[in-house]
Structure 1
Amino acid sequence: MNIQITARKFKAHETLKEFIKDELNSLNRFNDDIISADVKLSFQNTQNSIKIAEVLLSIPGQILTAKEESDDFKKSVSGAVEKLRNQLSTIKSKRTSKTR
């Protein structure tokens, strides 16, 4: 899987990049045909500084998207990956029910 991480308005630490790669590699359990993942990290300059993680996951024939906002980048990435897990499991269950 090709993983591209884009940090807008800041430079992401290596620990954050490794965390994102580990989270996205856990999605291979649900679908082996994942082509690429594009992660965009940004934040809003408000008083609470809301961190936003947007993940675009490319599988054959579809592009899945998930966006999550929280007060920490790791929470945002975990929430977005959880949304993608749900989408992948739904696709997998639809595929298996059609073949049977």
Structure 2
Amino acid sequence: MKVNAQSVNFNADSKLLDFVQGRLDKLELFYDKVISSDVYLKVVNTSSKENKIVEIKVHVPKDKFVVKKQCKSFEEAVDSACNSLERSLKKRKQKLRLQA
């Protein structure tokens, strides 16, 4: 799957980008018609420890899913966002199965 990753207010290292790519590739196990995804990694200047924001947009035919999570680390946020996306993709696949 094609993943477009953008980091805002910092430079993402290759380890983080590889982690994001690997985690998003697993989404294809749940729904094989995923076209591409856009990932936005942001650091917000706040006094809170949860200052890492991950926004993921997954494009599927005739639709797109958007999930935004804020956590202490990017890995935790990506994991949480991908879990939400897995549920959404499973629901969509089930809906399409019922219509067919």
Q: Is it true that 1:59 corresponds to 2:81 in the alignment?
A: no
Cα distance per residue 1:65-92 (max 9 Å; x no partner): 1111111000001111111101000001
Query: What residue ranges of structure 1 are gaps of 5+ in the alignment?
Result: none
Structure 2, unaligned stretches of length 5 or more?
Answer: none
Q: Distance in 1 between matches of 2:93 and 2:61?
A: 13
Shift of 1:93: 0.9
Q: CA RMSD in A?
A: 0.9
Write the distance in 1 (CA, Å) between the matches of 2:16 and 2:46. Answer: 22
What's the counterpart of residue 83 of structure 2?
82
Aligned sequence identity (%): 28
User: Displacement of 1:96 after TM fit?
Assistant: 1.1
Deviation of 1:43 after TM superposition, in Å, equals: 1.5
Distance 1:90 1:31 in 2: 10
Q: How does the TM-score come out when normalised to structure 1? A: 0.95
Q: For the residues of structure 1 that align with 2:32 and 2:90, how far apart are their CA atoms?
A: 12
**Runs (4+) of structure 1 moved beyond 2 Å?**
none
Aligned positions, number: 99
Counterpart secondary structure, 2:31: coil
**Equivalent residue of 1:3, what SS?**
strand
In the aligned structure 1, how far is the partner of 2:18 from the partner of 2:70?
A: 20
Which stretch of structure 1 is more off in the superposition, 45-54 or 60-69?
45-54
Superposition TM-score, scaled by structure 2 size: 0.95
Q: Residues 1-100 of structure 1: matches in 2 within 5 Å?
A: 1-49=1-49, 50-99=51-100
Question: Which digits, 9 at most, give the CA deviation of each residue in 1:20-73, with x for residues without a partner?
Answer: 000000001111111111000002101234100000000000011111111100
Secondary structure at the aligned position of 2:67 is classed as strand
